[in-house]
Amino acid sequence: MADESYPMTPEGLASLKAELKQIKEVDRPQNVKDIEEALEHGDLRENAEYHAAKEKQAELDARMRFAEYRISRAKVIDPAKMNAEKVAFGATITVLDMDTDKEETYAIVGEHEVDVDKGRISFKSPIARAMMGKEEGDDFTLKLPKGDRELEVVSVEYKAIE
């Protein structure tokens, strides 16, 4: 476990670093002020503001440790510098659902970079695992709890994740 690395795009690393900076420079100092203000209200047993601020402090500390850990073990893979025809980490893939004739585009990213609304999926997700190693024109079956989906790879691109 100690040698575990976390694949991520350069954008993913930048967002983790920005989040860590936000926590250290803005969120934590504000939280310290909130705790100090709540302490001035007296009796801690019935001081909801104090308990909420302490809970927030624990959340911030956990998120900060998470970000620091991931940053220290980041394996940055820049899709813009890759030139491949097969689906791998960092690829932006357009697939055609053979049943509905609808196309969907996905970018395969690190776990903390997932944003389904933007088509960013984890390299560990079932659809990403099913696509790995496929090329344009390849068909594959995605096995889901609500039934199988037949998909075809329309395009495979390696570019900066937007």
DSSP state of 147: E
Q: Mean pLDDT throughout 43-58?
A: 88
Q: Is 48 in the same domain as 61?
A: yes
Kindly tell me if the per-residue pLDDT of 13 is higher than 70.
yes
Q: Residues of the chain with pLDDT > 70: what percent?
A: 98
pTM: 0.82
Q: Is 146 in the same domain as 103?
A: yes
Any residues with CB less than 8 A from the CB of 39 and at least 6 apart, and which? 50
Q: In one letter, which amino acid is 27?
A: D
**What is the four-CA torsion angle of 27, 161, 68, 36, rounded to 10 degrees?**
0
Domain boundary among 59, 76, 93: 76
Q: What is the pLDDT of residue 2?
A: 54
Range of the domain at 68: 6-76
Q: Mean pLDDT throughout 111-135?
A: 94
Q: Is 67 in the same domain as 85?
A: no
Q: Is 97 in the same domain as 72?
A: no
Q: What is the pLDDT of residue 47?
A: 83
Please state, in angstroms and rounded to a whole number, the distance separating the CA atoms of residues 132 and 122. Answer: 12
Q: Is 56 in the same domain as 84?
A: no
Q: Is 99 in the same domain as 35?
A: no
Q: Is 151 in the same domain as 103?
A: yes
Q: Is 62 in the same domain as 86?
A: no
Domain boundary among 76, 107, 126: 76
Q: Is 65 in the same domain as 105?
A: no
Q: Is 86 in the same domain as 19?
A: no
The helix, strand and coil proportions of the chain, stated in percent and rounded to the nearest 5, come to 45, 25, 30
CATH code at position 10 = 1.10.287.180
In a domain, 1, yes or no: no
Sorting pLDDT into bands at 50, 70 and 90, what band is 158?
A: very high
In a domain, 125, yes or no: yes
Q: Mean pLDDT throughout 105-127?
A: 94
pLDDT digits over 139-157, tens only? 999 988 888 999 999 999 9
Q: Residues of the chain with pLDDT > 90: what percent?
A: 78
Any residues with CB less than 8 A from the CB of 149 and at least 6 apart, and which? 97, 99, 141, 142
How distant, in Å, are the alpha carbons of 63, 99, 122, 123 from that of 147?
36, 12, 21, 21
Please state, in angstroms and rounded to a whole number, the distance separating the CA atoms of residues 94 and 48. Answer: 50
pLDDT digits over 58-96, tens only? 999 999 999 999 999 999 999 989 888 999 999 999 999
Number of domains in the chain: 2
Torsion sign over Cα 143, 147, 150, 156: negative
Reduce the DSSP state of residue 9 to 3 states and report it: coil
Kindly tell me if the per-residue pLDDT of 114 is higher than 70.
yes
